[in-house]
Amino acid sequence: MRVLHFVTGGFSGATKVAIDLVEAHNEIESTENLLVLRRKKTTVPEKFAELEEKDIDYEVVTGITHMATIHELKKLCEQWRPDILVAHGFPEHLLGRRAGLLAKVPYLVQVEHNSQERYTPWKLYQTRKLSKSTASIIAVSEGVAQVLSGQGLKAPIQAIPNGIDTTRFGGMNLLPINERPQDLIMVGRYAKSKDHVTLIEALHQLKQKSIKPNLTLVGSGRKYYQKEIHNLVERYELHDQVTFIGYSSEVDKLLLQHKVFVMSSRFEGLNLAVLEAMASGCVVVGSQAIGVKELIEDKEDGFLFPIGDAAELAGIIETILSNPSNYQVLATAAREKVLSYYDETRVTKAYHDLFQKLLSGS
């Protein structure tokens, strides 16, 4: 079985899922895997070190224009001759499947990683047309599957929720919440959808009440949004409370130092950072966005707040930090949930089972 995974080279959540799948499936003797990245501005050499350390075979195709991407990927498919092409995310699933069709790849698989994408009428027409030649469409959460079901697609849709490496995040001897030295952390790329603004607004409201928790922001992303958040922090004079960390390969260590994880996103597919924080024993606070709210049972294993509601978020943070040990039970329940339902071994097996089913024609 030869499987080619095509995904953005922006090293987003979709890229991480593709990397995890390739790494896991490389352990299966009967499977050969190739990761193909579409070059982005953030596709820098230092990010390839992780792939090389994991012995992942990868190629990078141009991202200059869509037609150029399709042309290079088509040529690569003709050379490598995959049995299955798995195209992750938007617009990569359009480009990847078009290239796969031109190269006569036997089976095409679309993986949708988000609940809201920039589908113009033309793009929606393309994805509907491509679905007729697609063997399977995978949604990374039930919420995403529901969105896809309304697009008029012809291929079968199934949900395979994303998972994480539970051997990396957490551990056996986690510090209890009240003994962790840092207060708040958010891990996520800088983009409008992540809505860092609401979190900074909440921090500002807390400061006006003389409550001054520290906050660590981890992630890279669009310079425009990074500048917006830096400017907002300066405007509210929160620079003594906020620490900015760019792309980090040590998120697992950072999470263990923090009491509360916040995800203020406006929409997601299924947020891996939330799962990582839950596995790490943080008290998790998330917005009611698709891809976040289905991971958290409010006041049972975390907290939910309305999208964009800084006042509600500030109130939740104040409540938790006033007596963190009261919420240890929520953090423990969240970790147990991830260990039971969101371990990546379940995910990689589900993908491999699907690939075998496609090749067997069953």
Strand order in the sheet with 84-88: 58-61, 32-38, 2-8, 84-88, 107-112, 136-139, 157-159
Dump the DSSP string for 30-61: T-EEEEEEE--TT--GGGHHHHHHTT--EEEE
Q: Are 334 and 260 spatial neighbours (Cβ–Cβ below 8 Å)?
A: no
Between 92-102 and 66-80, two packed helices, what is the crossing angle to 10 degrees?
50
Q: Which regions of 106-149 does DSSP assign to beta strands (E)?
A: 107-112, 136-139
Domain annotation for the chain: domains and CATH numbers = 2-163+343-360 (3.40.50.2000), 177-341 (3.40.50.2000)
Report pLDDT digits (tens) over 231-257.
999 999 999 999 999 888 899 999 999
Amino acid of residue 146: Q
Given pLDDT bands bounded at 50, 70 and 90, which one contains residue 171? Answer: confident
Question: Which carries the bigger pLDDT value, residue 46 or residue 144?
Answer: 144
pLDDT digit string, tens, across residues 288-337: 998 899 999 999 999 999 999 999 999 999 999 999 999 999 999 999 99
pLDDT value, residue 362: 67
Q: Round to whole Å and give the CA distance between 239 and 81.
A: 53
Q: Is the pLDDT of residue 118 over 80?
A: no
| Residue partners of 35: CB distance under 8 A and separation at least 6 | 5, 7, 18, 19, 22, 51, 56, 57, 58, 59
Q: What are phi and psi of 298, to 5 degrees?
A: -55, 125
What pLDDT, on a 0 to 100 scale, did the predictor assign at position 229? 96
| pLDDT at residue 43, rounded to an integer | 81
Contact partners, residue 96, CB within 8 Å, separation at least 6: 6, 73, 85, 86, 87, 88, 108
Euclidean distance between CA atoms 148 and 198, whole angstroms: 28
Cβ neighbors of 325 (< 8 A, separation 6 or more) are 176, 177, 178
pLDDT in tens, 120-151: 999 999 999 999 999 999 999 888 999 999 99
Which H or E run includes 252? helix 251-256
The Cβ-side half-sphere exposure at 251, using a 13 Å CA radius, reads: 27
Tell me how crowded residue 92 is: count the other CB atoms within 10 A of its CB.
Answer: 27
Helix, strand, coil shares of the chain, percent, nearest 5, are 45, 20, 35
Percent of the chain residues topping a pLDDT of 70: 100
**Residue 198 above 90 pLDDT?**
yes
Residue 350 has pLDDT above 70, yes or no: yes
**Does 44 have pLDDT greater than 90?**
no
How many Cα atoms within 13 Å fall on the side-chain side of residue 287? Answer: 26
Q: Is the pTM of this model over 0.85?
A: no
User: For residue 220, what pLDDT is reported?
Assistant: 86
Whether 84 shows a pLDDT value over 90: the answer reads yes
Mean pLDDT of 106-119: 90
**Sheet containing strand 182-187, strands side by side:** 242-245, 215-218, 182-187, 258-263, 283-287, 303-305
CA dihedral 355, 102, 34, 159 (to 10 degrees): -40
Average pLDDT of the chain, as a whole number: 94
Closest CA to 213 of 235, 239, 184: 184
Single-letter amino acid code for the residue at 270? L
Structure tokens at 162: 């994303």
If we measure between CA atoms, which residue out of 121, 168, 183, 164 comes closest to residue 318?
183
CB 56 within 8 A of CB 25: no
